[in-house]
Chain A
Amino acid sequence: MTDLWPVVEPLLARVERPARYTDREWGALHRPEAPYRVALLYPDTYELGMANSALAILYARLNTLEGVAAERVFVPWVDMGAAMREARVPLFTLESCMPVAECDLLGITLPYELTYTNILEALDLSGVPLRAAERSDGDVLVIGGGPCVFNPEPVAEFFDAILIGEGEDAVADIVEAHREAKAAGLSRAEVLERLSSVQGVYVPSLYAPATADVPARPLEGSRAPARVVKRVVQTLSAHATPPCPVVPFMDVIHDRASVEILRGCSRGCRFCQAGMVYRPVRERTPDEIVRDALAQLRCTGHEDVSLTSLSTTDHSRIEEVLRRLSAAVRGTGVALSLPSLRVDAFGVEMARLASSGGKKSGLTFAPEAGTQRLRDVINKNVSEEDLLATVRVAFGAGWRRVKLYFMCGLPTETDDDVRGIGALAWKVLDAAREATPPAQRGGIRIGVSVSVFVPKAVTPFQWEGQLPMEEVRRRQAILRDAMPRKGVDLHWHDAEVSFLEGALARGGRDLSRVIERVWREGGTFDAWTERFSFARWMDAFVAEGLDASALATAPRDPDAALPWDHISAGVDRAYLLSEREAAMGGRTTPDCTFDGCTGCGVCQDLGVDIVLAGGSRG
């Protein structure tokens, strides 16, 4: 095992934020004796990657396996990347400072589309061939996983294998299969064939990619499954929250302890990929949550603890959890935080409970659309009365800041719906003023954040077209005119970035050529505004003969094949289609954790059940 620290150290005096590369944080795990070595790469900077809780879970999990060491890797910022190339220093893991190329397995998170060029940057800095087809027996095994895997095709050729779904159990199976295959002296092709039999593992090289009419299918002679079905854990109780995750020295986003109190959300918002692909809902029990939160606070020394999930206030025993936790941290200066809240008095009551230790953070609500008609289309079960009543309660209870999330460009959206966002912002502002003593009204802040709808794979809207950029800009102008000038901070997402996300989110294998070209032209860290070049991307699409507009904005024919048809999140296509029909008819669908199964198919397909700590919700 080569130790690169002697050649890395001299570079650190001349780069920004050297703490990104030094390791030695509290909680960093060093297992120099372990023969099987895993590099876990987050394809962005240290400070972004360290905020990713899935990575922390897998890091902890892999390091409990006998004979296995898992170490962290992040993409060096531009200055460090240049310094490393100049000094011929390859990409290294933080803990051992060993070359990534010397590891047995390189696991790469796929967090969002704009990190795709960074995957190539990391492979290249490591000296690992970019494409799976170019790698030979001695090369590290490159495996992807994470939120973007439900359409893995744009990056499929860069990976030897991709894990679809949850990693807690699957990573152990993958490591086991790989170790056995290595011990048996199998060739790379044989290793991959063997990995394809691990449930949830997709080996792209064993499939013929989709054409316009035929979905991707296993190659002749391969035993790879026709459809790769996502991996899930039956219950979160089998996996305690890591008690001692790494505590960064650097200021990272979400720099706090966190406990995933439930996984999945079945509210059924029709634009939401997370809501479809992380089903079914599985809650942790209050005992586990309190135990895990206190253990993590004790071990890390963090000053905040966040109870995370897609819909935290839906936990069937959230009130008990918050009462117990806030009592436990009272007087220590430790704050509890909740992500986006349910839009009702209960949501505010829970936020009040969370802040009873002293700190009041801002409140966040997501009405998503400006009119009831459109909220019914997207199945966002929030009414204007709910929202305004909630705002009155919150401002009456002393809050002075709320943040509202909306989307622009949702299917069937009209100019009236867009103006509706402005009208709603006016009403929220009025309601906030009414509920606030006159002397304090100057402190009222309403944040309105409007993203651009991007249709995602495995949602009822996967067949819809995305708005063309000019249209997005026109509607953003309407939005600006409809918004109150004072008291509201309006933010919207960039039309170009959203357009590109759309083109990448639903593209096929041929997109790998575009991604590679962009990287070769110097594209890295595309998620960073100062690094993003839309022109570079559009030039690459043209040079590779692909039509980005068609990919992003053209509606798909529900009878045609989609590039991700061979990947299954467990949700039936028929369900997605019926939800699409309901959307167009303005009919809503209830949440199965409150009102009984609505037939999405996940539980039957994956042999799992929803798990509610309180037995029932609502």
Chain B
Amino acid sequence: MADTTFRLRVTYGKTGRLRFLSHLEVTHASERSVRRAGLAYAVTQGFNPRMKVAFGPALPVGTAGLAESYDVWLTRYLPPADALGELRRATPDGLAPIEARYVSEREPSLTAALTLAEYEVVVGGPDAGPDRVRTGLEAVLADGKLTLQHKGTPKVFDLAVFLPKEPTVGEYPGGSMVRMTTRMGASGTLRPEAFISEAIRRTSADGAVTSVTRTGLRPEGES
């Protein structure tokens, strides 16, 4: 096997019906896209050789993503535009790759690098307008922390850590839209849906989260 490998970073969406896929399902589907695309992928050494590929932070079932990423190591250089073309041809629409580029081996892994996630959360309902939702959000933020149940055990989120900047609320047909950024880390991930649902509950508004989209991922310090 060739010693040199080429680390291709593929950015893709998880949209439409395919937002209902789990992270594991997305990873399997992406590996299959790479095989179908005919890319010369590297294989891990060992008893159970597998494609050498690494994924960015997981997206839960039901959450859409506009710019998710994985790295796949190739044994032969292929111009990025060609790789992108082959991958697009071999991928179902809802997971279509948007960009492919090579990154240096020295760069940290996607999960280590991309710790900030940006979301758009749509809230719908008879009185889920921006003012009402904003009031709820302010109430939660004023507490400074949020306790959520995770598999039966309470987990406390320090909002100053998990929300690096204040969410904003805007108009949206049939309700409102919250734009927010969360910080992911070793201590866990704050699910936007849980956070916003709590805000709605605080105002006793008749509304619910109708969709969650991760619009982007970025490293600390960039904007």
Q: A12-B20, A23-B17 are in contact. Are A331 and B36 (CB under 8 A)?
A: no
Q: Check: A247 CB closer than 8 A to any chain B CB.
A: yes
Q: Check: A333 CB closer than 8 A to any chain B CB.
A: yes
Q: Check: B18 CB closer than 8 A to any chain A CB.
A: yes
26 pairs of residues in contact across A and B, judged by CB atoms under 8 Å: A18-B62, A19-B21, A22-B18, A22-B21, A23-B17, A24-B18, A24-B93, A24-B94, A26-B29, A26-B32, A26-B92, A249-B21, A249-B25, A249-B28, A249-B29, A298-B36, A298-B38, A300-B36, A301-B31, A301-B33, A303-B50, A331-B1, A331-B43, A333-B43, A333-B49, A358-B47
Taking a contact as CB atoms under 8 Å apart, the answer to whether B17 and A301 are in contact is no
How far apart sit A332 and B91, CA to CA, in the bound complex (Å)? 19
Taking a contact as CB atoms under 8 Å apart, the answer to whether B25 and A300 are in contact is no
- Using CB atoms, name the residue of chain A closest to B94: A24
How far apart sit A75 and B86, CA to CA, in the bound complex (Å)? 36
Q: Check: A251 CB closer than 8 A to any chain B CB.
A: yes
For A359, the chain B residues whose CB sits under 8 A away are 47-49
> Which one, B16, B28, B51, B62, contacts A13 given CB within 8 A?
B62
- Using CB atoms, name the residue of chain A closest to B26: A249
Most buried by B among A12, A23, A24, A249: A249
Taking a contact as CB atoms under 8 Å apart, the answer to whether A301 and B34 are in contact is yes
For A23, the chain B residues whose CB sits under 8 A away are 17
How far apart sit A18 and B17, CA to CA, in the bound complex (Å)? 10
Q: Check: A87 CB closer than 8 A to any chain B CB.
A: no
One digit per residue, 1 when the CB lies within 8 angstroms of any chain A CB and 0 when it does not, for chain B 14-57 equals 00111011101110110111111010000110011111000000
Q: Check: B90 CB closer than 8 A to any chain A CB.
A: yes
Taking a contact as CB atoms under 8 Å apart, the answer to whether A24 and B49 are in contact is no
> Which one, A24, A331, A358, contacts B92 given CB within 8 A?
A24
For B62, the chain A residues whose CB sits under 8 A away are 12-13, 18
Residues of B within 8 A of A (CB-CB), count: 33
Interface residues in chain A, defined as those with a beta carbon under 8 Å from any beta carbon in chain B: 9, 12-13, 18-19, 22-26, 247, 249-251, 297-303, 331-333, 358-360
How far apart sit A297 and B32, CA to CA, in the bound complex (Å)? 10
Q: A251-B24, A251-B28 are in contact. Are A333 and B51 (CB under 8 A)?
A: yes
How far apart sit A298 and B36, CA to CA, in the bound complex (Å)? 6
Taking a contact as CB atoms under 8 Å apart, the answer to whether B50 and A22 are in contact is no
For A303, the chain B residues whose CB sits under 8 A away are 31-32, 35, 50-51
Q: Check: B61 CB closer than 8 A to any chain A CB.
A: yes
How far apart sit A9 and B64, CA to CA, in the bound complex (Å)? 14
How far apart sit A300 and B43, CA to CA, in the bound complex (Å)? 18
Q: A19-B22, A22-B17, A22-B20 are in contact. Are A300 and B92 (CB under 8 A)?
A: no
For B43, the chain A residues whose CB sits under 8 A away are 331-333
For B61, the chain A residues whose CB sits under 8 A away are 18
How far apart sit A360 and B92, CA to CA, in the bound complex (Å)? 31
Taking a contact as CB atoms under 8 Å apart, the answer to whether B18 and A301 are in contact is no
Most buried by B among A22, A300, A301, A360: A301
For B21, the chain A residues whose CB sits under 8 A away are 19, 22, 249
> Which one, B25, B31, B47, B92, contacts A251 given CB within 8 A?
B25
Interface positions of B from 188 to 213, Cβ below 8 Å from A = none
Most buried by A among B1, B17, B18, B32: B17
Known: A301-B31, A302-B32. 6 other contacts (CB 8 A): A19-B20, A24-B94, A250-B25, A251-B28, A297-B35, A301-B34
How far apart sit A68 and B36, CA to CA, in the bound complex (Å)? 28
How far apart sit A303 and B36, CA to CA, in the bound complex (Å)? 11
- Nearest-CB distance from A606 to chain B (Å)? 40
Interface positions of B from 156 to 196, Cβ below 8 Å from A = none
> Which one, B20, B24, B36, B94, contacts A301 given CB within 8 A?
B36
For B48, the chain A residues whose CB sits under 8 A away are 358-359
Interface positions of B from 119 to 158, Cβ below 8 Å from A = none
For B47, the chain A residues whose CB sits under 8 A away are 358-360
- Nearest-CB distance from A216 to chain B (Å)? 46
Q: Pick the 10 closest A-B CB pairs, nearest first.
A: A301-B32, A301-B35, A301-B36, A18-B20, A249-B25, A22-B17, A333-B43, A333-B49, A358-B49, A24-B17
How far apart sit A251 and B26, CA to CA, in the bound complex (Å)? 11
For A298, the chain B residues whose CB sits under 8 A away are 36, 38
For B94, the chain A residues whose CB sits under 8 A away are 24
How far apart sit A247 and B61, CA to CA, in the bound complex (Å)? 19
For A300, the chain B residues whose CB sits under 8 A away are 32, 36
For A25, the chain B residues whose CB sits under 8 A away are 92
For A9, the chain B residues whose CB sits under 8 A away are 17
How far apart sit A403 and B155, CA to CA, in the bound complex (Å)? 44
Taking a contact as CB atoms under 8 Å apart, the answer to whether B16 and A24 are in contact is yes
For A297, the chain B residues whose CB sits under 8 A away are 35
How far apart sit A22 and B61, CA to CA, in the bound complex (Å)? 12
For A251, the chain B residues whose CB sits under 8 A away are 24-25, 28
- Nearest-CB distance from B10 to chain A (Å)? 15
How far apart sit A290 and B171, CA to CA, in the bound complex (Å)? 58
- Nearest-CB distance from B89 to chain A (Å)? 11
For B34, the chain A residues whose CB sits under 8 A away are 301
Most buried by A among B47, B51, B90, B92: B92
How far apart sit A9 and B17, CA to CA, in the bound complex (Å)? 8
For B36, the chain A residues whose CB sits under 8 A away are 26, 298-301
- Using CB atoms, name the residue of chain A closest to B17: A22
How far apart sit A358 and B61, CA to CA, in the bound complex (Å)? 34
How far apart sit A221 and B93, CA to CA, in the bound complex (Å)? 55
How far apart sit A472 and B20, CA to CA, in the bound complex (Å)? 45
Interface positions of B from 79 to 104, Cβ below 8 Å from A = 90-94
How far apart sit A25 and B25, CA to CA, in the bound complex (Å)? 11
How far apart sit A18 and B18, CA to CA, in the bound complex (Å)? 10
- Nearest-CB distance from A9 to chain B (Å)? 8
For A26, the chain B residues whose CB sits under 8 A away are 29, 32, 36, 91-92
For B33, the chain A residues whose CB sits under 8 A away are 301
- Using CB atoms, name the residue of chain B closest to A358: B49
How far apart sit A251 and B32, CA to CA, in the bound complex (Å)? 13
For A24, the chain B residues whose CB sits under 8 A away are 16-18, 92-94
- Nearest-CB distance from A616 to chain B (Å)? 37
How far apart sit A300 and B21, CA to CA, in the bound complex (Å)? 18
How far apart sit A302 and B91, CA to CA, in the bound complex (Å)? 13
